[in-house]
A = this chain, B = another copy of it.
Amino acid sequence: MSNFLSKKLLSLNLNRKNKATSLANYKPFIIFEKLIFISGQLPFEDNKLKFAGKIDTELSDEEVKQSVYLSTNNLLWNLNDAIDKFKINRIKCINLKGYFNCTENFNNHSVLLDFSSNLLIKVFGETDGSHSRSVIGVNSLPKGSPIEIDGIFGILD
């Protein structure tokens, strides 16, 4: 199916082929009343984790950037499925959480999560795309992923 979000994502070359299925016994999204909760997303591409390792010692800057993009892409395509299923016309980005698998010396979390925040604003525009967020450094993530991102979105219409 095609909707306002899938059209926008494809126009930005954010391709659905990257979307991952759930790793385990949970749903990619849950809608309750006007809130959409998206599960933690990893940098999967074609159902495989594309990057693994610590972001400040084992991955290049470019690989880290791609990891943030892929995780955000998966977040957006899961959101697109929610939009399709419930015939949603307009979304407000509410909250993003970024978890970075890094060493204890890493301190550049905010700059890296901006690759995700900037993309959300590009997709939804400043008014609907702007959001609150938190970002933390963690010592491990599922399957050795460098990045995990989850989010909460609101149904405006």
Q: Does A114 contact B (CB under 8 A)?
A: yes
Tell me if B130 and A26 are in contact (CB < 8 A). Answer: yes
| Copies of this protein in the complex | 3
A34-68, CB < 8 A from B: 34-35, 37-40, 54
A105-128, CB < 8 A from B: 105-111, 113-114, 117-118, 121
Tell me if A99 and B136 are in contact (CB < 8 A). Answer: yes
A122 to chain B, nearest CB (A): 11
Interface residues of A (CB under 8 A from B): 23-30, 32-35, 37-40, 54, 92-97, 99-111, 113-114, 117-118, 121, 130-144, 148, 150, 152, 154
A-B contact pairs, 24 of them (CB 8 A): A24-B113, A25-B117, A32-B34, A32-B92, A32-B94, A37-B95, A37-B132, A39-B133, A40-B134, A103-B139, A103-B140, A107-B141, A107-B144, A109-B141, A110-B142, A110-B143, A132-B150, A134-B148, A134-B150, A135-B142, A136-B138, A137-B138, A137-B139, A138-B138
